[in-house]
Structure 1
Amino acid sequence: MDRSILFALCSLLFAGVNDLVFKKQATSGYGRGQYMSIAGVVWAAFFVGWGLIHGRTDVAWQAIAWGAAAGTLSVSANYLLIASLRQLDASVGATIYRLNMVAAALIAVVFLGEPLGAVKSLGLTAGAASVVMFSLGNGKKSLRSVLTGAMMMVVTASLLRALMGITYKLATSDFAELQAAGHGSQDEWFLAVQGGMWMVVGFLCSARFEGRPRLTAGNVVYGTLSGLLICGIVLFFAWALAAGQASVVIPIAQMSFLVTAVLSLPVTREKLSGAKAAGLGLAVAAILLLSRT
């Protein structure tokens, strides 16, 4: 198996588990901003520590700039996702959010010059179809949700996430050129800056919209767990994009609803309808097709 596919699948696994943590936090009543700030602290601390342990102290301005751009897109997308999951099922909200894979793939083909062959087209089509099947699997609630602010929030979050994926690809290409010129690895600092963005923006949102709530043990648990899971998500995602095509890696990494849907059965007791089962099958087919391109 190509290592970019393996890394993308690892990112998918971490993201699938984290989607459930998002859902649990979203329905817990705890402040979203505080939760994101805690996750950001863990995220930033992890990669700063990683960089220092490995003696990578050569921080380029490109790592700061790309990290700030990706961090802004990431924190905005995830804040909207968390807010939308207060009204949407975890499997449905997370699935619609993952629609960004199609937008990101098209951007990569049009603007980055990546090839779009028949097999890749079939893979993307299967991925998009799996999203539709999951939405149908939510029945009447999904239909009503189209008219709500929650649906608009998750669609906006999806578009922002697509742009973040492209930012990662551009950043990893830039870092490869820096290393060829004699600079050290910039991945750790690129990822650490994003965690810092989550920490700062989360704190500001908490102060502005949540009235600086008291730090709660529940949010500390959710934030710490998410922070660690996000470290796995972004690290493997960056490695995958450094080794492969964005139009292949991003769609595979975004199919974390495979994991979310399966784990949702015992954890949140969501039902697996025939439509959702078909969606799972289509998602698996999409991954197999994309891995062959």
Structure 2
Amino acid sequence: MISPAARDALEQYLAHRAALSAVSENTVKAYHGDLVDYLNFMSLYKGGPQGLAPLTEISVSDMRAWMAATRNQGVSARSLARKLSSVKSFYRWLAERHGFEPTAVLSVRAPKFQNKLPRPLPEGAARDVLGTVEMQSDTPWIGARDTAVVTLLYGCGLRISEALGLQGKDAPLPATLRILGKGGKERIVPVIPAARDAVETYRAQCPYPCETDEPLFRGARGGALNARQVQKVMQRTRMQLGLPASATPHAMRHSFATHLLSAGGDLRAIQELLGHASLSTTQAYTAVDTNRLMEVYNRTHPKA
């Protein structure tokens, strides 16, 4: 239902976004999905494919109709806010190229939503996870592999994609790793001895050769280890330990940051270690730490 002119504009816009060094491939895909949904809705809502001229005449009521229809599909307020951001970004670019006033689109307010705080594990629970992960497999080298991956998440604050992106040439792990994170952002991450030891234990048992340009972490058949397998291991581990469903691989990364903060770590240093582009993203951990402090206060203060 998207007109050829609108489709061409969309492709040109996505190419523009992809050319920006700070935008990842996944972000471009998200923009594509959001904008295709928006353009399809407007075509149906207006009764036919919308060329560029009709798109420049979208009203506030049109935007509200799109937002209402999107919410009725079960899309959360958070996701709708992201979709609206995609549409606004597209319209800013479109307005610059075609010289129209995009105020009707840009003035629409995003729905309010409450930011979800990260849910880290207590320090004892994080240690229990590291000691229990290897028990989830009857094959010793696979147990050692899973322990090494989870240790990198908690000990170095890596994203699961970053840990699984390591190659044979990265081992044995040096004192610091150069990690290419989201949006091509590069950072230097210290590697604690426990993480290096865990990786070496895995390498000594892995039946597949540690080739320079091959994935460091292998699946049971020798291919690259899939993130879904790590998620399943964490699921079995948390069930064995009686931990909540929030105890995911990513929660180990959250735990890394929160435990550093609790121990007196500098927020900006933690931002660099995590590879967050904005300090505001890292500041979510201060809220977690404050919540924990208030729990202790309310539980122990004699006047509470």
Structure 1 length as normaliser, TM-score?
A: 0.30
TM-score (norm 2): 0.29
Higher RCO structure (Cα 8 Å, ≥6 apart):
1
